[in-house]
Amino acid sequence: MRLFRQSLVALAMLVATAPALLAQRRITGRVTEEGTNSPLGSVSVQVTGSTTGAYTNAEGAFSLTVPNGAVSLRVRRIGYSLRTVLVQANQSTVTVSLKKDVLQLETQIVTGQQGTLDRRNAATAVVQVTSEDLNRVPAQSLEQVLQGKVVGARINMNSGAPGGGGQIQFRGVTSVLGNGEPLYVIDGVLMSNASIASGANTLTRAAGAAANIASVQDNRTNRLADLNPNEIDDVQVLKGAAASALYGSRATNGVVIITTKRGKTGTPRWSLTQRVGQASLLRDVGQRCFQDTTTALAAGTASSNAAIAREVLTAAIAANGGNIPCNNFSRQLFGDNAPAYETGLQVSGGNDQTRYLAAISRKYDAGTANNTNATRDNARINIDQNISSRLTARLDLAYTRSQSNRGLSNNGNDPNTSPGYVFAKTPSFISLQNPDTAGLYPINRFGGVGSNFANTSNPFQTFEFITNNEDVNRLVGAASLNYQLLATDKQQLRVEYFAGLDRFDQVNNILSPSILQFEAVDGLPGTSVFSNSVSRQLNQALRAYWTYTPGRLGATFNTIAGVTEEEQGLNVTRNRAQNLLSGVPNINQGQQLSFQNRELQRDQAWFVNQSVLAFDDRLYVAAGVRGDRSSNNGDVSKYYVFPTAQASYRFVNALPGLDEFKLRSSWGQTGNRPLYGQRNITFTPVTLIGGFNGIGVNAGLGNPDVAPERKTELELGADVTAFSRRLAFEYTYADAKIDDVLFQRPIPASAGVNSQIFNGGRLRNKSHEAGVTVVPIQRRDFTWVSRMTYQRIRNGVDTLPIPPFPVGNTGFGAGFGRARITQGVSTTAIWGNKPIIVRTAAGQDSIFTRDTIIGDGNPNYELSFTNTYTVGRFTLNVQVDYRNGGDLVNLTQQINDQFQNSRDYDAPSPCRGQTAANRNCIRNANGVITLLDTSSTAKLGAYRFTRWNGGSNATPYTQDGSFVKLREVALNYAVPTELTRKLFGSRVSDVRLSVVGRNLGIWSPYWGVDPEVNNFGNNNVGRFIDLAPFPPARQFFFSVDLGF
């Protein structure tokens, strides 16, 4: 609070010294679209070299108070080319027409800490996703919308469960053990994107025994899911270190700057959006259909015993008219046609003093499985207030309630409860789906433990009766005061005080009633987990913006300086009770276990940035520096300094047909502070024993010298616009070195500790990003805009001061494949066991098993194609993404094969008729080369599983994840005004109808449901484990947008 008081005092001092106002006059005008002459609303009209400006109303009209004498006006609107018009001293009205900017070259971009710059001058690669792109097709969460729209990013949704859960990574892996999430800033508020586990591990036991209430395998949602894309005006991404340097020691992973919509001067404008849609299963895992009783019995025996398999099979055949039934469990469970709807109402308007925007919305998505759904309610009010001609204020308040019911999914252990896991162990001849007339579900007799094999689950029963509810209440607020200290024709100086708050509580409630089949296994029937997490983030800043236009060389100097303090607190408590009284979900009942984790982190920083725009806006040069200190660093009083330098030059009309050619280069450094607690040497709780808490040595030693990781990145690029703006091309190369990487230094465990965190080594990432936009057809009645982006990212470990080590939560050991950090090798390489055959001098072949590279989770390259066709009042937008490469570890298939239930199990083995000369048809049997089944009846599933050989060959299940996805299709019709008037009356100004779809199709050789799923959720390195995920859905919507 001391900081807050200091800044207010300072601000008050500045206000007291304000100068008198200058002599003024008034001008009015109108802005229209070139060609159609239709009026353009929401156009910004600004007096060049000042902060004076206004917006046009719906009729395209504006009015402005300007200084006496001639002034030049900058007239701009997103989607149109910027124009500068001169208004003579004696002129009081002006008409301006704007040309459509289909290439989006004219927008403004953020250059860090809220400075802005025209995009055409930017010295770094800019990614900007506009409101229109964000809202064309509804999505579960913001990252899903951004898929394919941000060149240089890897974005994937971890599962298809309703409510979100995705992750974004820019330009490769930038940290191994530290934080790997980008920094999210919404209207200046540093926003939490925490992924807090639900506690489902209690039921799935994914991370082992019951002692773990929660785990990273709980199919977590990250809290980006709380944002409503409809409230967002634009999303900008600062990928490189130069662009994000002014965000200091939290910016290594990139910064995502989200700006919400704001009110504009004029009468209230309402917009109502109503969408109705449906989700359905995109792909399913399927199930093996048994052709004969021998194979059915063999499969049944593999997950039970022969007697039970025979008993169940006999009954199943009898009930099915003499044929072996075949149940496709995953389609039965996840195959619902799930309704979805979204309703949103926004109003904005204002006068010279006050502008406002208010929005309210509800979105509901049912999951494709029984009792799964997500509901999000958003409300927002953004207010801008002119307090005096020099003092303006801004106040934003947004409330979100996100609720979801996500069922169970992902990895599991005994007793198996995750459906994909259970289905892999259950032969398709048993019917599990339908309860009997008394409402009792069939007992699953397969995949269980213990002597009667009944200790497993029936997922249909589980999904019918289980609760896995998440309820998030979130408040995001921002306030700022902006004071114009100086406004002369040569210089302007303003200061801003900003304060932001992001607070949410997340309540997770898991109730597994005692009637469920698996609940009796541990002798403690009935499980309830209640978790309450409270996150609170505060940030405040004092910033000064100084613009100086000396009047020579067309130069403008911009200086931004500021200081900030940021605080993040997170307190997670979980309580679990087992052995519940029947019908009593309260955790006061039964046998309890509780857990708490509390974190508090605070940073302080200063920064200054100086830029010059000269030679008729052709040359742009900037340099800046930020000093950061953090409670997470070993030395909390030391400022770590991160500099940046950037330059660009535009060649205008240098060659015929070449409108503009820009060269840009930038260099910068950013940091990634250590994680909470890494600086502390502590003792750790061991266990409760004999009624007392035991504490002991912490196996991982803290380090009082721990410091931020540091990324140094050089970025080079060129932007071209040609053929009267019918073609735009941009290319960027970035080379990043991450030094002082946080690693665990191994200590021989016989010393009593086994590791210590320290800074060392270097990661090296290189990326190529390119984009081409062409306008093959641009006529009044038909426009076709086509855009293609390409990205190729390579991330590697340059120097590693410690031995290679497997990264936690990236897999299940060498037998299955997991990430292993090794010097000189890709960070995302998948390492696992592989047989190596060596021919000795005597001509004898011998076989070894080696832990080596068997794949890479990082794609070779990715392409995204977007085509927009506008024919009259119809617009069709299609986005198709292609990924080349990117391997997965397909453990879903592995367990299906192990229990002889994979859908293609009976397909012919590629080893039929082969010999040992075919190295894919052998396995290592204790050092002896042994031939797999090469008979004419050998089966594919058995081939994969025996080749895997108990884990001595992980290659059969490390598979290519290349795909083509039809991500978005949107057909939009703008109803003619005459028809609108006839239907809705004159109050309604525009009506649009759309039919849209997301994830409509996937074409991939990959066996699993989706190559973009990940068992471990948000994770720096391991994003390639497919293990019994909630399968993704395709979604269709019909929507109506009304403006009035």
Partner 1 sequence: MTTTLLRRFGHHSARRIAGAAVALAAFLGCDADRLNIPNFNESPVDQTADRALLQNAISGILGEQRAGMAGLVSNVGIFGRESFNYTSSEPRNITLFLATFPLDNSGFTNGQWDARFRNMRNAVNVIRQIAPATFINDAEKNAVRGFANTMRALDLFYVIATRDTLGAPTAIDSLSPTPQVFANRDSVYRFISATLDQAATQLTSAGAAAFPFRLTTGFAGFDTPATFLQFNRALAARVLVYRGTLGCGATCFTQALTAISASFVNSAAGADLRRGVYHVYSAASGDLLNGISRQTAPDQLAHPSIRPDAQRQAGGVLLDNRFITKVRTIPTRNAPGGIAVGIPTDVDFNLYVDQTTPIPIIRNEELILLRAEANIGLGNFAAALTDINYIRASAGSLPAIASFASATEAVDALLYERRYSLLFEGHRWFDVRRYNRINTLPVDIPQHFRVRVMPVPQAECLARGLVIGTQPELRAPGCP
22, 70, 89, 211: which one binds partner 1 (CB under 8 A): 211
Token pair 């995705």: residue = 166
How big is the chain, counted in residues? 1044
The token pair at 395 is 């106040």
Give the range of 74-82, 750-758, 932-940, 961-969 binding partner 1 by CB under 8 A: 750-758
**Residue 680 touching partner 1 (CB under 8 A):** yes
CB of 847 to partner 1, least distance (A): 13
Q: Contact 888/966 with Cβ under 8 angstroms?
A: no
Q: Contact 244/111 with Cβ under 8 angstroms?
A: no
Q: At residue 482, what are phi and psi to the nearest 5 degrees?
A: -125, 120
Give the range of 265-273, 402-410, 465-473, 694-702 binding partner 1 by CB under 8 A: 694-702
In whole angstroms, give the CA distance from residue 543 to residue 564: 8
65, 291, 684, 986: which one binds partner 1 (CB under 8 A): 684
CB of 454 to partner 1, least distance (A): 11
CB of 33 to partner 1, least distance (A): 41
**Residue 209 touching partner 1 (CB under 8 A):** yes
Q: Which of residues 398-437 bind partner 1 (CB under 8 A)?
A: 412-414, 416, 421, 425
Is the peptide bond preceding residue 415 cis, with omega within 30 degrees of 0?
Answer: yes
Q: Quote the distance between the C-alpha of residue 102 and its chain's center.
A: 27
Q: Which of residues 55-94 bind partner 1 (CB under 8 A)?
A: none
Give the range of 363-371, 640-648, 777-785, 895-903 binding partner 1 by CB under 8 A: 895-903
Give the range of 234-242, 684-692, 872-880, 955-963 binding partner 1 by CB under 8 A: 684-692
User: Which of 900/980 has CB closer to partner 1?
Assistant: 900
User: Which of 360/929 has CB closer to partner 1?
Assistant: 929
223, 275, 406, 629: which one binds partner 1 (CB under 8 A): 629
User: Which of 520/722 has CB closer to partner 1?
Assistant: 520
User: Which of 410/765 has CB closer to partner 1?
Assistant: 410
User: Which of 321/748 has CB closer to partner 1?
Assistant: 748
Contacts 24+ apart (CB under 8 A), 1005-1009: 1005/960, 1005/962, 1006/888, 1006/890, 1006/959, 1006/960, 1006/961, 1006/962, 1006/963, 1007/890, 1007/893, 1007/904, 1007/959, 1008/285, 1008/888, 1008/890, 1008/892, 1008/893, 1009/160, 1009/282, 1009/283, 1009/284, 1009/285, 1009/892
- Helices and strands (H and E) in the chain: how many: 13, 50
Tell me 311's DSSP state.
H
Size, binding site for partner 1 by CB under 8 A? 119
Token pair 């001098």: residue = 841
Q: Contact 626/607 with Cβ under 8 angstroms?
A: yes
User: Which of 31/821 has CB closer to partner 1?
Assistant: 821
The token pair at 904 is 């293609």
CB of 334 to partner 1, least distance (A): 22
**Residue 555 touching partner 1 (CB under 8 A):** no
Please calculate the CA angle 289-295-299 and round it to the nearest 5 degrees: 85
Residues 6+ apart with CB under 8 A from 896: 285, 288, 424, 902, 903, 905, 941
**Residue 551 touching partner 1 (CB under 8 A):** no
Q: Measured on CA atoms in the order 1025, 1031, 1036, 1039, is the torsion positive or negative? A: negative
**Residue 631 touching partner 1 (CB under 8 A):** yes
**Residue 752 touching partner 1 (CB under 8 A):** yes
CB of 210 to partner 1, least distance (A): 8
Give the range of 91-99, 288-296, 362-370, 442-450 binding partner 1 by CB under 8 A: 442-450
Q: Quote the distance between the C-alpha of residue 352 and its chain's center.
A: 38
In whole angstroms, give the CA distance from residue 333 to residue 345: 35
Please calculate the CA angle 892-894-897 and round it to the nearest 5 degrees: 110
CB of 406 to partner 1, least distance (A): 22
**Residue 391 touching partner 1 (CB under 8 A):** no
CB of 313 to partner 1, least distance (A): 16
Quickly list DSSP for 590-612: SEEEEEEEEEEEEEEEEEEEEEE
Give the range of 106-114, 154-162, 489-497, 974-982 binding partner 1 by CB under 8 A: 489-497
Token pair 């649009």: residue = 992
268, 696, 704, 913: which one binds partner 1 (CB under 8 A): 696
**Residue 750 touching partner 1 (CB under 8 A):** yes
In whole angstroms, give the CA distance from residue 590 to residue 608: 58
Q: Which of residues 443-472 bind partner 1 (CB under 8 A)?
A: 447-451, 455
User: Which of 416/666 has CB closer to partner 1?
Assistant: 416
Binding track over 589-608 against partner 1, x by CB under 8 A: --xxxx-xxxxxxxxx-x--
- The CA-based diameter of the chain, rounded to the nearest angstrom, is 102
Q: At residue 842, what are phi and psi to the nearest 5 degrees?
A: -75, 0
Q: Which of residues 767-806 bind partner 1 (CB under 8 A)?
A: 802-805
Q: Which of residues 261-320 bind partner 1 (CB under 8 A)?
A: 301-303, 305, 307
Bridge partners of 862, per DSSP, are: 791, 883
**Residue 563 touching partner 1 (CB under 8 A):** yes
**Residue 982 touching partner 1 (CB under 8 A):** no
User: Which of 122/940 has CB closer to partner 1?
Assistant: 940
User: Which of 262/494 has CB closer to partner 1?
Assistant: 494
Binding track over 7-26 against partner 1, x by CB under 8 A: x-xxx-xx--x-x-------
Q: Measured on CA atoms in the order 946, 949, 953, 957, is the torsion positive or negative? A: positive
In whole angstroms, give the CA distance from residue 323 to residue 313: 10
**Residue 753 touching partner 1 (CB under 8 A):** yes
Q: Which of residues 1025-1044 bind partner 1 (CB under 8 A)?
A: none
Q: For 204-265, where are the E strands, in sequence order? A: 232-238, 255-260
Q: Contact 402/472 with Cβ under 8 angstroms?
A: yes
CB of 293 to partner 1, least distance (A): 18
CB of 386 to partner 1, least distance (A): 20
Q: Which of residues 907-926 bind partner 1 (CB under 8 A)?
A: 925-926
**Residue 865 touching partner 1 (CB under 8 A):** no
User: Which of 23/438 has CB closer to partner 1?
Assistant: 23
Q: Which of residues 496-535 bind partner 1 (CB under 8 A)?
A: 521-523
CB of 485 to partner 1, least distance (A): 5
